Structure 1
């Protein structure tokens, strides 16, 4: 998996996803210490259609662009940099399929030249709501958004239990020792860590839901940093995992504590994630979902 660096626009995310998904769409997240996550049915991919030619009336591109999580029956949580800086005719869809890239490939073959049909084949269309303060300062970029979906259409296609959100300040209350003793994991549809080749670095894979263990590194304000280093048994996030979930087992419950935002560009060391127990995140989410 790979996170998109802070302040990189969603159009850039889309371009990265397109290039990378053409390489090896059979896997996601870092290749080391990672496994498929078919049981994480609340974790999904953000799919977009948009215009890329001189006729803005109809979309001509479609791709999965980010990751995210269902936090109630009709609310998909992702990152604001995934849903901003798009052409005016962008339309967002959410897919909870395990292999979204494979589904898009099949749909493209069935519906040549019809990106909207391909998007409908894998996902349900929704409306994005970005944090009104994005992008904020480095201390809290407010990089959070939701996509509101028609609950009946989502229920008709997928069965899932929404992710459990943390209580206010729950991570901070654990303290450094408690955080070090907490089991963390990351999930998403993103690409693998950098590979060296004749043409330079590439990030293969992407479009398939994967998961990997990560460990606590640091906590402050709006941010939770998680270590992705392989010698410690960790996996990690990479490009296309932005907006996706970082879970922690708190009091015996798998809890969605943060969303992937950025990290080191080769995707080897650190996943920088946006805390969902912070006052800013909770204030943004409160109109869309019942908070614990």
Structure 2
């Protein structure tokens, strides 16, 4: 079944009860803009015939970054595809799945995991990671308020209301991107929000672990990973895990050389 865990982040951290992030809403097909962004592929298709269940980013030739809550049980390996539209027969790379040992589902902190491949992924340039405290410096320089961010992922498109109750989530196994605005920066979280006047989109179920690039649609500077959102309609704030903090770098530095 599709992996859609509820990631509960304490109120003292984000001041709201959050639900898991997933697909890009009000976005466009990414095409070849971000070939370093890939999907975690299930062993069997979901009931709707699709395969992707989480998103992630290649951050070195052999290391793929995603979210710890994307791991089921004691998962040891993961299958990754970098196809812009996955379908059976697309190239799949299998690697060791390693979650941050500090992660606890009930807390939501340290929600990072890597997939480590035995050989370099050919033909794909890894994303760029931020230096220590980069977002803090941008905020101090009053540059974050007007900054644009580009989330990318394979998750659900805009959910549709059912005639009876609830919502129907539409998955296409396609890499999409959107633009989103800055809301707030805290010790470990980058909060992004939808500004409808700017045509912003958002993330939804299936985008978990995916990148939020600082800048426009061609940026490859990965500053935070998608973790959760503020509503089940995928129309509110995103809560993204910062990668420029000392605590995030403690885990990442075990697998990649950091700037």
Is the deviation greater in 191-200 or in 260-269? Answer: 191-200
Segments of 5+ residues of structure 1 without an aligned counterpart are 18-27, 51-60, 108-120
Q: Which residue of 2 aligns with 1:123?
A: 92
Segments of 5+ residues of structure 2 without an aligned counterpart are 10-19
The alpha carbon displacement at 1:7 in A equals 4.8
After superposition, give the CA deviation of every residue in 1:20-69 in whole Å (9 maximum; x if it has no partner).
Answer: xxxxxxxx611x2434332210000011327xxxxxxxxxx993210000
After superposition, give the CA deviation of every residue in 1:120-166 in whole Å (9 maximum; x if it has no partner).
Answer: x531110011000111774x6110000001224x21xxx21100000
Going from structure 1 to structure 2, the CA distance change for 1:162 and 1:213 (only over 3 Å counts) comes to same
Considering only CA atoms, is the larger Rg found in Structure 1 or Structure 2? 1
Q: Which residue of 2 aligns with 1:175?
A: 139
Give structure 1 regions of 4+ aligned residues with deviation exceeding 3 angstroms: 229-232
| Structure 2 Cα separation of the partners of residues 5 and 233 of structure 1 | 28
Residues 9-20 of structure 1 mapped to structure 2, 5 A cutoff = none
The alpha carbon displacement at 1:5 in A equals 4.0
Going from structure 1 to structure 2, the CA distance change for 1:220 and 1:243 (only over 3 Å counts) comes to same
Contact 2:50 2:172 in 1 (8 A): no
SS at 1:221 equivalent: coil
Residues 47-66 of structure 1 mapped to structure 2, 5 A cutoff = 47-49=41-43, 63-66=51-54
Residues 1-292 of structure 1 mapped to structure 2, 5 A cutoff = 5-7=6-8, 29-30=24-25, 32-49=26-43, 63-85=51-73, 91-100=77-86, 103-104=87-88, 107=89, 121-135=90-104, 138=107, 141-152=109-120, 154-155=121-122, 159-175=123-139, 177-200=142-165, 201-249=167-215, 254-263=220-229, 264-292=231-259
Higher helix share: 1
Give the TM-score taking structure 1 as reference length: 0.74
Going from structure 1 to structure 2, the CA distance change for 1:7 and 1:83 (only over 3 Å counts) comes to farther
Say how many residue pairs are matched: 239
RMSD: 2.9
